[in-house]
């Protein structure tokens, strides 16, 4: 082992120990999204998709939540736990998709389309949630849209790829906000076709935030949790994964005997597709934010009150449909 590597390992161990100490001292928990760096997932108390994490946080009696993901995830945690302090390791962790739809612009879209029900993906800011009738996630969107009468006029924000995918499965004609996640848009069809040729025995797992041309090549389309569950239950031994490559950490942990190959983006020689914003969170920054109790995510209490309604409506519909208990 080189001196540099052993120094880095020692620092990592020291940070992990200090983070554990601060967590106990401050009655804090760490939420880690599936797209986080491996070491951030390793130190997290809960790992999951954005909504599952926010719900977990609301169920604990922790005083402090450290949300390791992107900012809208911290906001969702705050909306569901307004009495708790929500910290994020790096306030620069924005989200291209959430940021593609401001509340001001969505309000214009709503005003131009009177009489429409507004359905938004959970990957939105608190302000956008406050203008929404029902929130959906990529795991329940199809069923929730289908729970509305066939002639319901629906505006869907902010992801056009997910919106198109839902329209194709439900036969609806929802009007779509023209937003997208820069990471999921970046996957290359040509490189995926080549990868499939190299690994003909691999199943392709793709997230519905990807373009239609990529989804057409998938064996399974699903949310992060849906793809993970599919990989666990499948008899296949090899998978090509077409979503942010952080999910491979959990996939490999859950299925050590299976092989996971990240699908490459079209604009680089890099083999995997990483979200720069998600990767801003590091052990150093988690330690600093716990120590200093900053940066903190705050949401205007009035917005919190409005934004929780479409989330609760989603949970209520999901319960009625038997999707959750
Ligand atoms: O909402 C999430 O956590 C994301 C980004 C994707 C998913 O499918 O869970």
The pLDDT of 128-144, averaged and rounded, is 96
Query: pLDDT tens for residues 175-228?
Result: 999 999 999 999 999 999 999 999 999 999 999 999 999 999 999 999 999 999
* CA-to-CA dists, residue 228 to 10, 113, 138, 168, 247, angstroms: 32, 38, 13, 23, 8
Rg of the chain in Å (alpha carbons): 20
pLDDT band at 263 (very low <50, low <70, confident <90, very high): very high
Least confident of 54-58, 105-109, 149-153, 154-158: 54-58
Given this model, what pLDDT does residue 5 score?
A: 78
Given this model, what pLDDT does residue 325 score?
A: 77
Q: Domains of the chain, with CATH numbers?
A: 2-93+278-294 (3.40.50.10800), 97-181+304-320 (3.40.50.10800), 187-262 (3.40.50.10800)
pLDDT band at 269 (very low <50, low <70, confident <90, very high): low
Ligand 1 site-directed mutation target among 49, 71, 179, 277, most atoms within 8 Å of CB: 49
pLDDT of residue 1 exceeding 60, the answer is no
Residue 253 has a CB neighbour count (10 Å cut-off) of 13
Torsion of CA 216, 217, 219, 224, to 10 degrees: -80
**Which residue's CA lies nearest to atom 8 of ligand 1?**
223
pLDDT band at 268 (very low <50, low <70, confident <90, very high): low
Query: pLDDT tens for residues 241-251?
Result: 999 999 999 99
Backbone angles phi, psi at 138, to 5 degrees: -70, -15
250 lines ligand 1 (CB under 6 A): no
Mean pLDDT of all residues belonging to the chain: 95
- How far is the C-alpha of 199 from the C-alpha of 128, rounded, in Å? 42
Least confident of 49-53, 139-143, 150-154, 278-282: 49-53
Residues facing residue 203 across a β-bridge: 239
Given this model, what pLDDT does residue 229 score?
A: 97
Torsion of CA 149, 209, 234, 270, to 10 degrees: 180
Ligand 1 site-directed mutation target among 124, 205, 224, 278, most atoms within 8 Å of CB: 224
- How far is the C-alpha of 27 from the C-alpha of 12, rounded, in Å? 22
Q: How many CA atoms lie within 13 A of 270 on its CB side?
A: 11
* CA-to-CA dists, residue 103 to 107, 127, 132, 159, 307, angstroms: 6, 6, 10, 15, 12
- How far is the C-alpha of 270 from the C-alpha of 244, rounded, in Å? 13
Predicted TM-score of the model (pTM): 0.94
């Amino acid at each position: 082992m080189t001196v540099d590597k052993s120094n880095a390992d020692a620092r990592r161990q020291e940070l992990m120990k200090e983070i554990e100490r601060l967590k106990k001292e401050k009655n804090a928990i760490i939420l880690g999204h599936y797209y986080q760096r491996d070491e951030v997932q390793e130190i997290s108390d809960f790992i999951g998709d954005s909504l599952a994490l926010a719900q977990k946080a609301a169920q604990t009696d922790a005083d402090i939540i450290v949300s390791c993901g992107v900012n809208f995830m911290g906001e969702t945690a705050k909306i569901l736990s307004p009495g708790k302090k929500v910290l994020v390791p790096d306030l620069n962790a924005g989200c291209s998709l959430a940021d593609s739809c401001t509340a001001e612009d969505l309000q214009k879209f709503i005003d131009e389309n009177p009489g429409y029900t507004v359905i938004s993906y959970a990957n939105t800011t608190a302000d956008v949630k406050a203008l929404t009738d029902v929130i959906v996630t990529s795991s329940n969107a199809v069923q929730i849209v289908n729970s509305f009468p066939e002639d319901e006029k629906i505006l869907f924000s902010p992801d056009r790829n997910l919106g198109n995918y839902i329209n194709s499965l439900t036969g609806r004609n929802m009007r779509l906000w023209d937003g997208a996640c820069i990471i999921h848009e970046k996957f290359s069809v040509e490189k995926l076709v080549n990868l499939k040729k190299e690994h003909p025995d691999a199943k392709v797992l793709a997230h519905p935030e990807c373009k239609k041309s990529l989804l057409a090549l998938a064996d399974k389309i699903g949310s992060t949790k849906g793809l993970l569950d599919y990989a666990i239950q499948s008899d296949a031994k090899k998978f090509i994964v077409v979503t942010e490559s952080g999910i491979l950490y959990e996939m490999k942990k859950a299925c050590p005997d299976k092989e996971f190959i990240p699908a490459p983006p079209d604009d680089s020689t890099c083999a995997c597709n990483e979200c720069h914003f998600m990767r801003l969170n590091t052990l150093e920054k988690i330690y600093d934010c716990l120590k200093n109790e900053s940066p903190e995510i705050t949401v205007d209490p009035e917005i919190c009150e409005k934004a929780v309604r479409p989330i609760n409506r989603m949970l209520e519909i999901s319960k009625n449909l038997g999707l959750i208990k």
